[in-house]
Amino acid sequence: MFGRKLRLFTLLGFSVSVDTSWIFLAILIIWTLSLGYFPQVVPGLSPEIYWVMGTLGAFGLFFSIVFHEFSHSIVARKKGLAMNGITLFLFGGVAEMSEEPPNPGAEFWMAIAGPIASVVLGIGFLAIGGLGQNQGWPLAVNSVFLYLGFINILLAVFNMIPGFPLDGGRVLRSILWKIKGDIRWATKWAMRSGSFVGFALIALAVFAFLAGQFVAAVWWFLIGMFLRMAAQGSYIQLEMRETLKGESVARFMKPAPEAVSAEIPVSEFVDDYIYRYQNQVFPVVNSGHLLGKVGIEQARNIPKERRSWVRVREIMQEVKEEEKVTTETDAFDAIQKMNQERQSEVFVTSLDGELEGLVKADDILSFFKTRMALEQSNGGPSKPSTKSDSTKKAG
Ligand SMILES: [Zn+2]
């Protein structure tokens, strides 16, 4: 859904990644703190000190966001939810869940854990800053602590904006879900609320701009746009999950794909497969069993004159568990796997490793679009009949 991920470290079994957007944000934060915020709040220090304070402030903010996300993840794990890890991106982090929470109560506590953690951490930082002031610590040190205290409270407030998929939106959804017992309806309204708040923030940005407050205008605008995009993104995901419910991979599978024998030379692979078919990736098999995958990239690395000597087996790549599904796998799960691995297809294998077929993301997505179009002309996708219909077809 967002840009590229860079994996940083693993802690307590959760892998922490940053979205590339976070690198730009980190620079923007250090810059804003060193040239704007700290010189204004504590005037009279040298520029070098401001840069050190700005850098420490940015690292402290990074720590605070990780702390916030970990509290979500730990509560989620306690509630028995599988977590994919934590990704930091513009305006905070996302604790990635691979499934919906089991009940409204679980979602409520999971969502509110983050803001509570931020408030507690914020109070802690403020207390340390206050203590420092009392004890006569250097001004620069106290100011960084006080800034971190303030920013954690702000983080809690921002995340409590009632728009899905922010924490406040999840809290709202869990309450609506509890009231009506319908998670889809609750999600829709929690997302609409987020979209509306996003729109209000963009309007606020326009007013701020007209009033000459350019920095505030940029921030309001960015947050507003982010909220609207996030709401839209999770709406599409929800629709996709609902539309593909009960559809297994078998429906989209291309059986008997063009498989390459592991023992043929690369020259034959180039002539008989790459030139003949338009595929990006080919499965490599040995008497029906999936051994690996091979594509243009691997063939290109072998010099032309050596291609008749080298066999496909020597250049093929390993197929990870995440790139395999069975015919019973849910189509939505398959799409998520492809998303996570940034692949446009996955291989379908039997339980004993035999290659059965290939599924392309494009085929699932075009089915999704077609069904959405059909349901819209049918009086909206929320009709209960469509749900049972899709379950029946799969059976
Ligand atoms: Zn949160």
Strand (E) or helix (H) holding 15: strand 14-19
At CB < 8 A and 24+ separation, what contacts does 369-376 make? 371/243, 372/239, 372/243, 375/243
Residue bearing tokens 């996570």: 340
146: its two tokens: 């006080």
| SS3 of residue 3 by DSSP | coil
Q: What is the pLDDT of residues 200-231, one digit of tens each?
A: 999 999 999 999 888 788 888 988 888 888 88
Q: How far is the CA of 358 from the centre of ligand 1 (A)?
A: 37
Bridge-based pairing state of the strands 254-255 and 92-97? unpaired
- As a three-state string, the secondary structure of 267-320 is HHHHHHHHCCCCCCEEEEEECCEEEEEEEHHHHHCCCHHHCCCCEHHHHCECCC
| pLDDT digits 0-9 by tens, 119-142 | 999 999 999 999 998 988 888 899
Q: Read off the pLDDT of each residue in 348-365 and give the average, rounded to a whole number.
A: 83
pLDDT at residue 259 tops 70: yes
Q: Indicate the DSSP class of residue 1.
A: -
What's the pLDDT band for 94 if we cut at 50, 70, 90?
low
Give the separation between CA 213 and CA 266, rounded to whole angstroms. 63
pLDDT the model gives residue 145: 95
Residue 91 CA to ligand 1 center (angstroms) comes to 11
State the distance from the centre of ligand 1 to the C-alpha of 209, rounded, in angstroms.
29
Task: Single out the residue of 258, 252, 265, 304 nearest to residue 279, CA to CA.
Answer: 258
How far, in Å, from the CA of 192 to the mean position of ligand 1? 19
Which of 105-119, 182-196, 266-280, 358-372: highest mean pLDDT?
Answer: 105-119
Q: How many CA atoms lie within 13 A of 262 on its CB side?
A: 15
CA of 169 relative to ligand 1 center, distance in Å: 10
Q: Report how far residue 324's alpha carbon sits from residue 343's, in angstroms, rounded to the nearest whole number.
A: 11
- For 137, the token pair is 């610590």
Mean pLDDT score, 83-111:
73
Any long-range contacts for 270-276 (C-beta under 8 Å, 24+ apart)? 270/299, 270/307, 274/299
3-state secondary structure of 13: coil
Q: Which of 69, 107, 247, 356 is catalytic?
A: 69
Q: Name the pLDDT band for 245 (thresholds 50, 70, 90).
A: confident
What percent of the chain has a predicted confidence (pLDDT) above 70?
Answer: 90
pTM: 0.66
Question: What average pLDDT is seen over the chain?
Answer: 82
Decide if 144 contacts 56 (C-beta within 8 A): yes
User: How confident is the model over 313-325, as pLDDT tens digits?
Assistant: 888 888 887 788 8
Q: How confident is the model at residue 14 (pLDDT cuts 50, 70, 90)?
A: confident
Q: Tell me, yes or no, if 314 is annotated catalytic.
A: no
252 pLDDT above the threshold of 70: yes
Which residues have CB under 8 Å from 93's CB, separation 6+? 65, 66, 68, 69, 86, 87
With vertex at residue 190, the alpha carbon angle to CA 85 and CA 67, rounded to the nearest 5 degrees, is 30
